Amino acid sequence: MMKSRNMLGIVAILGAAAFSGWAGAAEAGRVVTVVGRVTAATPDGQIRTLASGATVENGEMLITGANSFLRVRFVDDAYVILRPNTRFQIEGYQLSERAEENLSVFRLLKGGFRTVTGLIGQRNQRGYSVRTSLATIGVRGTEFQLMHCDKDDCGPNMPDGDYLGVDRGTVEMTTAGGQQSFNAGEYAYVNRPTVPPAAVAAEQAGLLHTDPCPGATCEQ
């Protein structure tokens, strides 16, 4: 039994070393797939075009153009698929051996994405969040989709607001008006930061019923 425990400890240490070795000082993840035109904007305003294999870094804004998609695998094995016309910022990202130091904070300014959370969502759920101008999303180990619609940019079938769809696990959606938890198969909507999020029927979730990257192009 002692030998087995020692082996498990060695495997855990090697796994952590592999993660820290893969990530540079500011590296948060790497691009798996690009369809169309996708760029990254640094905090100081520099813009670079992303291609498969490129790194994405802490603080960068990831931007997809029309008819464009991006799939990123993060250092903790989480992944995100960005829909067209999306602006998604990596506000704070850190994978650490100390559970309380793990951090995964994103901001969705426009558009939408689908994600499966990784080790950070397991090790420090309080350290994981996605923010919009209306709400903050927290998780308890999950897979979900989120869209932020503004100025009718999601089309006539999706009025302005935040749309949440939970594929697996549990998601907490919080506004200044209150907090609500949603489970797998449930959908939520909020259109003002001063009101609590509300459950909605599946047919009211609009594009959340469509594949974020058609034809499995973005899947490994």
Instruction: Select from 58, 74, 51 the least CA-distant residue to 25.
Output: 58
Q: pLDDT at residue 25 above 60?
A: no
> Do 102 and 77 meet the contact criterion of CB atoms below 8 Å apart?
no
pLDDT recorded at residue 97: 86
16 band by pLDDT with thresholds 50, 70 and 90? very low
Q: pLDDT at residue 13 above 70?
A: no
Q: What is the pLDDT of residues 171-196, one digit of tens each?
A: 999 999 999 999 999 999 999 999 99
Half-sphere exposure of 128 (CA within 13 A, CB side): 24
Specify the pTM. Answer: 0.85
Q: pLDDT at residue 99 above 90?
A: no
Query: DSSP character for 133?
Result: S
pLDDT recorded at residue 140: 79
Domains and their CATH numbers in the chain: 26-215 (2.60.120.1440)
Report d(CA 149, CA 38) in Å as an integer. Answer: 20
